[in-house]
Amino acid sequence: VRLSGSLVVLCPDVMFFVDEAPAMARQDWLEVASRWAIQDVWPHDGGKLEFTCKELGIECVNIMKMVSSFLVPPCCREALRYELGLVQECGEELGAYVELQAGSLLGAVKTDGILPWDFDMDVLGDCKYKKDWMEKGMECMSRKGCSSVHIAGSYWMTTCNVSFVDVSCKQDQLMLLPPEYRNVPTRVNYSGRMIFVPPNPALVARNTYGPEYLRHEVHWRYTGKDKGVWNRCSAPGFHACLE
């Protein structure tokens, strides 16, 4: 273009039809959505179309392998949030405090929900409830269709249909706060549902991951460390590639 002496202006946000707009029914859009694994479509004629994982042929299995290349689809993140909610429900049943920690807390700070390349949930309880969690908590999760195993010390893991949740404990962290704030726990909206987090969650995330905590990075389970580069995408050019 430059060699020919021409000037070209590209304005993708003001594209228009030069002929009559095509008439596309839901089934027509489903074909497009299935090809690109897109759950929500806003057609040019207004309105919104929503497609389920089943309609798109998306299976929320082996999410750990999925995020080696791709973002987690919204419907699978909903499944992850549902299973994290099961742990919340068991905590409420036991009267035990439980809050987000590690990567799940980082997601709350960065995206108001589950990081779209995360596949495990991380929660922290108060160690005074350790015995209840190890006994009644595991039994509660079993009733909800999840299996649990004690890993070591105060750390145990519960595995559900889609995800696994890492559960550990520390002594009452709220005692570090001024007396007037100790009985006022902090809650955030996490992927559409309220959950407890540490006081000043962004500062906790920064102190845990360092000053570059807002930088997007690959999950540590792929590198064995907190910082790492994205894997090469198995389908280069696909819109959900992480790299």
Q: What is the CATH number of the domain that holds 190?
A: 3.30.460
Model-level pTM?
Answer: 0.79
Q: What are the angstrom distances between the C-alpha of 218 and each of 120, 148, 226, 227? A: 13, 26, 8, 7
Same domain, 35 and 87: no
The domain total for the chain is 2
Report the candidate in 41, 72, 36, 71 with the shortest Cα–Cα distance to residue 56: 36
pLDDT score of 1 more than 50? no
The answer to whether 33 and 39 are in contact (CB under 8 A) is yes
Same domain, 107 and 26: no
pLDDT score of 147 more than 80? yes
The per-residue pLDDT for range 89-122, each reduced to its tens digit, is 988 888 888 889 888 999 999 988 898 888 888 9
40 within domain boundaries: yes
Strands 186-190 vs 164-170: parallel, antiparallel or unpaired: unpaired
pLDDT at 7: 61
Same domain, 36 and 129: no
Neighbours of 118 (CB within 10 A): 23
pLDDT score of 224 more than 60? no
Give the range of the structural domain holding residue 111, as residue numbers without chain letter: 65-222
Report the candidate in 121, 120, 117 with the shortest Cα–Cα distance to residue 73: 117
More confident residue, 9 or 55: 55
Same domain, 28 and 48: yes
106 within domain boundaries: yes
236 within domain boundaries: no
